Amino acid sequence: VIVSENLSVQEAQAIILKNLQPVGEERLPLASCAGRILAEEISAGADLPPFANSSMDGFAVITGDIAAASPQSPVVLAIAADIPAGSTPSIRLQTGQAARIMTGAMIPAGADAVVPVENTGFAPHLAGDQAGAPLPHSVAIFSPEAPGANIRPRAQDVKQGQVLLTSGRRLLPQDIGILASAGYASVTVYRRPLVALFSSGDELVQPGQPLQGGQIYDSNQFLLAALLEQAGAHVLRLGTAPDNPEAIRALLDQAVNEKADLIVTSAGVSVGAFDFVRQMIESNGSLHFWKVNMRPGKPLAFGAYAGIPFIGLPGNPVSAYVGCRVFVFPAVQRLAGQPDPGRWKQKAHLGEPVKSDGRESYLRAVVQEEDGRLVARLTGHQGSGNLYSLVQANALLIVPSGVKSLPSDSEVDVWFLDAE
């Protein structure tokens, strides 16, 4: 066990990630894949688009026929075919001919451009009286077109065999779209990690129950479950254990029986007389570390219980939140198959001086754009029990390790809370 007071956030993150492997894979229908992590490489089985097609509603032509076309002296072409989307044209266009064509329809052999319908006409004195007929006999072309105009060539977007998506990618809506374009009805993704979660503390009561003296509601259970789901986990909510070793062990064993991929707890990992979580982990497993040089959230434990990775978060709600963001999020992402979970930081300027105690600090802040740059200001009292100051924040402002004060205007890293 590392009990050093100086284990850095980065070292602790690295230890956690080193000890976690992606969970298994499953094959899912495409409709269920948004947000999931791809577990295979996907390449295109065919060109996209699969055939040359029109990008406009109009008339497929031979450009040589219409080189001299103008509104004053249109070129009249005989309409040789009608090509709706979804059909295969059977003709080869001859000089003097046009084919009516719809957006997305296959370009007929012989044609080398499409004239948009806006640049054509069917004046009776030019085309014969076609009123009421679905397809006129002829069309007047009002402008020339360059070869290739308004044609989307085969493979313009993607060539057959080209890699479309690599393993480890979190599938975005547009990825699901291109998988469908390429004809995939299902793909292999990583299973969602199952994270067992419980709180510990004799003072904790479920919302909906009346509070007795000295009791508070169990906010961490709800906060952490929501955060873990955001990270891509299935959450096994095991409730609250009172501060007694047997009750804590019973919930840990339940997590084992239900085959959790990770156990996350809050509270009971500090140095208080009733902090039994640490003790119970060590009774049937081991701890890699239980302190990190950060603020808030110094009492933070990582280890394994009966072979299942375990992260013990501090009890104070803001500490639990920050610990979950900084350590559990990347852990869940690793279990879920994302190869390189990174933080999404931006630079901002302090709108006020900030003090710290030299530990790497995650302060609650509002970051907003002022005069073309991001400015960060603290929200309320930064005590780690004060959840409302987190509710008011839209970012965590990071003061690096070793820094005790920063003057107003300093450049700092900020981490937007809704960025993942």
Which option in ligand AMP, Mg ion, none does residue 54 bind, with CB closer than 5 to 8 A by kind? none
Q: Shortest Cβ distance from residue 243 to ligand AMP (Å)?
A: 8
Question: Which positions ≥6 away from 100 have C-beta within 8 Å?
Answer: 58, 59, 79, 81, 82, 83, 135, 139
Q: Is 317 in the site for ligand AMP (CB under 6 A)?
A: yes
The closest residue (CB) to ligand AMP is 315
Q: Is 265 in the site for ligand AMP (CB under 6 A)?
A: no
Q: Contacts with ligand AMP in 195-224 (CB under 6 A)?
A: 199, 201, 203-204, 216, 218-221
CA distance 384 to 323: 11
CA distance 181 to 163: 14
CB atoms within 10 A of CB 247: 17
Give how many residues touch ligand AMP by CB under 6 A.
19
Single out the residue of 54, 270, 356, 361 in contact with ligand AMP (rule: CB under 6 A). 270
Q: Shortest Cβ distance from residue 281 to ligand AMP (Å)?
A: 14
The answer to whether the beta carbons of residues 150 and 118 sit under 8 Å apart is no
Q: Shortest Cβ distance from residue 384 to ligand AMP (Å)?
A: 8
CA distance 116 to 332: 52
Closest to ligand AMP by CB, 3 or 185? 3
CA distance 166 to 161: 13
Q: How far is CA 106 from CA 87, 89, 147, 369, in A?
A: 7, 7, 16, 49
The answer to whether the beta carbons of residues 179 and 169 sit under 8 Å apart is no
Q: How far is CA 368 from CA 154, 283, 406, in A?
A: 46, 48, 19
**Nearest CA among 278, 50, 42 for reference residue 156:** 50
Q: Is 136 in the site for ligand AMP (CB under 6 A)?
A: no
One symbol per residue from 77 to 116: x for binding ligand AMP (CB under 6 A), - otherwise; what is it?
A: ----------------------------------------
Q: Is 267 in the site for ligand AMP (CB under 6 A)?
A: yes
Provide the binding-site residues for Mg ion, judged by CB under 5 A.
201, 267
Q: Is 297 in the site for ligand AMP (CB under 6 A)?
A: no
Residue numbers of the site for ligand AMP (CB under 6 A)? 199, 201, 203-204, 216, 218-221, 266-268, 270, 272, 314-317, 385
